[in-house]
Structure 1
Amino acid sequence: MNKSLAMNVAFAGLLSLFALPSHAGISLNGTRVVLTGPKKETSMLVLNDESMPIMIQSWIEPFSTSSDQDVPFAITPPLKRLSGNARQQLRILYQGMGLPADRESMFWLSVQEIPQKSKDENILQIAVRQRIKLFYRPAGLPGDIDQAPSRLQWRMVLKEGKPGLEIRNDSAFHISFGTVNIKSGSNNYPIPAEMLAPYSSQSFMIEGASSLAPGGATKIEFESINDDGVPVQHSGDISS
């Protein structure tokens, strides 16, 4: 048996000593949390979908891992034992200062299941974390969150000498995308846009459209994700 084959057999034998959990034991009652001012508190419900008790740990962190942004929130309880098939309400508390008043701010809410110690030493246990968006929406922002997606500006540009698409968000709200597609005749060009922050723009290269000149695409079709986590269909024109 050659060295490479022997190593593969040994590795496969090692994996056979462990059993991996098939799914997470917790679920959340939403895909995002929105705290709207002047309120300083909101909540999220965590459900234990298993019959066995579990421990959960919860925390809030900046949206960007490279950011030194302060997190002016507290979450309670941060650590909780949850009985089988039980539920727990997490309270999210805002300290009332430290965030812009003219636009939304976004953070991550993480809820992690802490594995119970197994009686079987050959069981590999993995901590499963669920992470959802937490938005703070100050009172009195101009415009309407439900109308903001339809007011996005779409423009054909050249990006690194190739056809590209610029998306501009002049609203005070974050806009999350499902699918984004350029329709040009019978051709369809997907755009990997995920979210656009308030008063910002992003540009994307149009993959597979090397011969498409600025102004050549006529329509944009996209899904925005609303506060309930539901995709909403939109279409619009693209300017050159």
Structure 2
Amino acid sequence: MTGLKLITFDLDNTLWPVDEVIRQAERTTSDWIADHHPDAARALTPARIRTVRDRLVREHPDYLNNLTRLRRDAMAEAFMAAGFEDKEARHIAADAFLVFHEARNQVSFFPGALEVLETLADSYTLGALSNGNSDLKRIGIADLFRFHHSAESIGRRKPEPDMFRAALRSAGVEPDQALHVGDHPVEDVDAARRHGFQAVWANLIDLDWPDDLDRPDHHIHHLRELPDLLPLLDN
């Protein structure tokens, strides 16, 4: 190893808790539809959209590589099922998704997250690797990252190797010079290890580690623990 140069971060549930963000974004979207298209409001309950989303994923698993398309198409199908013509349903769904996406990027960081990112950005190349569709510019932290690769931009979601390989190309480093920090045991930690990265499990939401996976060598419960851990990895 020639020293740690690149640190990549997952985003949702690693830098901020995401479940309430999504719930609030869905409520905001429902309110917007009720105000602007009251005749469509009953077709777009969160439960109805989840049912359509689940069906779309079962029928076309590739939807998981593009959550924007999945949510937008699920809304459109829900509207069409409620009697709207295809063109109108897709138009409303496209507008509604813009409302959703704006609200989806109104995040509250885990304690210490911004300070840790700002500190690490002085010494390492930082990258973001996410299966979700958050927008770092809207969130206000794009300047801290050299790159942001997502399932949508790459075309394949973690735990597949594509996003990790793209990160190495973007940073111009080898796998043994890279560390990935994420919350998901399979999509982040185990994937990073299998693709040659070092890995830190950021267990900020108290998940259980799966019994069928080798436990991680390094884990943290608070992002402020990360800088103190890096000397053990940077050698």
**Shared fold per TM-score greater than 0.5:** no
Greater helix content: 2
Larger radius of gyration: 1
What TM-score results when the alignment is normalised by the length of structure 1? 0.25
